[in-house]
Amino acid sequence: MDRTAIIGVGMTNIEAEKRRETFADMAWEAVNKALSDAGMTIADIDNVVTTSSDFWDGRTISLMAVGDVSGAAEKNVSCVEGDGTYGAFYANARALSGSYKTTLVTGHSKGSQCVSSLITNAAFDPIYERALGMDMVTACAMQANAYMNRTGVKPEDAALVSVKNHGNALKNPVAQLPMNITVNDVMASEMIADPLRKLDCSPVSDGCCAVIIAHESVATKFRQKPVWIRGLSFCTDSFFFGDRDLARSKALTEAAKKAYAMAGIKDPRKEIDLVELYDAFSYQELLWLEEMGLADYGKAAARLKAGEFNLDGALPVNPSGGLLSGHPVIAAGLYRIAEIVLQLRGDAGAHQVKKAKTGLAHGVNGLCGQSHCVWILDKEK
């Protein structure tokens, strides 16, 4: 099969409320940062994929609103509704199709401009569920209870994820919530929905991320070192939350297995050097690691406690600070990809991890991880 690579990334700072910037202003910043990172001009981009959600943006055909600033004028532009990792998946498919050489993919959202609980409530079935008022936070609280009941993991075990990730964010200039906190601080924070406390939850955020994916025939023609795409896959579970095993995430296990197989990875625990994953809530970092086969089921908490997932641990997880330190919905997964790219190039600055040859980026779409997208990226082709 032909190969593809990521040859440029751009991220805006993640902030609670970007009042100075519209959607287009954010995209303009991220796109130009990515072009500059790649050493390209917009003329070098031959097609565009934007990732957004009409419901979050509060407008119909939201891709059209960021087309101009993404250099889509007179080019083929398409939109993916969902997390940025899925937009990038499509962008990669385009690069592999033979029809395109360089695909610019963006993901944007502004949680500050809407009432996020009403938006996520609208994801539920309108006939049977929506009127009951559940949103993403309450749904994930129920998943957390199911997970903890099955595994014996305690809220204070999961709280350590928040401590680690907010601590890592102190070293990441784009993070929204760098914080030096303790497990006691997390456990003393306001109870939102049992067992989730305020510091177990990711914040409402604004941000935009842009990534440039190139076919191998042009991947080394520009200034930047390419980071090679070795494997990628996504997999989806049942829509109705009540149809799934709430304490597990089979879709993630499948997505990870397929991504590892495509990358030729036999033992992910030995071959993957670092992970950026979708920690919308503290317990999710543990559950996602386990379902990706990077820890035994129910045992990630013990390894976290032993420091293995720290910035200087055996398997650094979310060295950027993760979603707990900034969660621009839709863009969040694309930020994970961009962060892995910086790490593999050695460009992550203060939060650079030591050994970074092969990295895993993970995105989620849907309630409580209905769908997962897994990327294996590598410094070497």
Partner 1 sequence: MAEKEQLIIESGDAAQPFKYAVGMHGSKFFTETRDNMRLMGLKCPKCGKVYVPPRGVCGKCFVEMDDWVEVGPKGVIGTFTILRFAFIDPETGQQKPVPYGYGFIKLDGADTLLQHYIDIKDESKVKIGARVEPVYAKERKGNTRDIEYFRIID
In the bound state with partner 1, the residue whose beta carbon lies nearer, of 73 and 191, is 191
| 253 near partner 1 (CB under 8 A) | no
Which CB atom, from 7 or from 137, has the smaller least distance to partner 1?
137
Strand partners, 208: 108
Largest Cα–Cα distance of the chain, in whole Å?
56
Yes or no: say if 353 and 225 are a contact pair by the CB < 8 Å rule: no
Is residue 72 classed as helix, strand or coil in its secondary structure?
A: coil
Closest CA to 84 of 55, 102, 111, 109: 109
- With a CB cutoff of 8 Å and minimum separation 6, the contacts of 246 are 142, 143, 146, 147, 368
Q: Which helix (H) or strand (E) holds 301?
A: helix 300-305
Site string for partner 1, 198-237 (x = CB under 8 A): ----------------------------------------
Is 125 a residue that touches partner 1 (CB under 8 A)?
Answer: yes
Q: Are strands 227-236 and 191-193 parallel, antiparallel or unpaired?
A: unpaired
d(Cα 337, Cα 256) in Å, to the nearest integer?
Answer: 15
Per-residue contact track with partner 1, 92 to 121, x per CB under 8 A? Answer: -----------------------x-xx--x
Shortest Å, Cβ 129 to partner 1: 5
Q: How far is the CB of 176 from partner 1 (least distance, A)?
A: 20
Tokens of 147: 């997970």
The token pair that represents 203 in the structure block: 């914040």
Contact between 20 and partner 1 per CB under 8 A: no
Where does this chain touch partner 1 (CB under 8 A) — which range of 61-69, 188-196, 210-218, 319-327? Answer: 188-196
Indicate the residue among 28 and 124 with the shorter CB distance to partner 1: 124
CB atoms within 10 A of CB 210: 33
Is 240 a binder of partner 1 (CB under 8 A)?
yes
Q: Could you tell me the smallest distance in angstroms from the CB atom of residue 247 to partner 1?
A: 8
Rule CB under 8 A: say whether 189 interacts with partner 1. Answer: no
Which region, judged by CB under 8 A, interacts with partner 1, from 154-162, 194-202, 305-313, 335-343? 194-202
> How near is the Cβ of 257 to partner 1 at its closest, in Å?
18
Nearer to partner 1, 143 or 165 (CB): 143
Q: Which of 4, 70, 103, 138 is close enough to bind partner 1 by CB under 8 A?
A: 138
Q: Please give the full DSSP string across 281-317, using - where no structure is assigned.
A: BHHHHHHHHHHTTSS-TT-HHHHHHTTTTSTTSSS-B
Do residues 48 and 71 make contact, with C-beta atoms less than 8 angstroms apart? yes
Nearer to partner 1, 228 or 281 (CB): 281
Contacts of 260 by beta carbon, 8 Å cutoff, 6+ apart: 231, 266, 268, 293, 376
Among 9, 35, 123, 134, binds partner 1 (CB under 8 A): 134
State how far the Cα of 267 lies from the Cα of 255, in Å rounded to an integer.
Answer: 15
Assigned token pair, 103: 């695909």
| Site residues for partner 1 per CB under 8 A | 115, 117-118, 121-122, 124-135, 137-138, 141-146, 149, 190-196, 238-243, 246
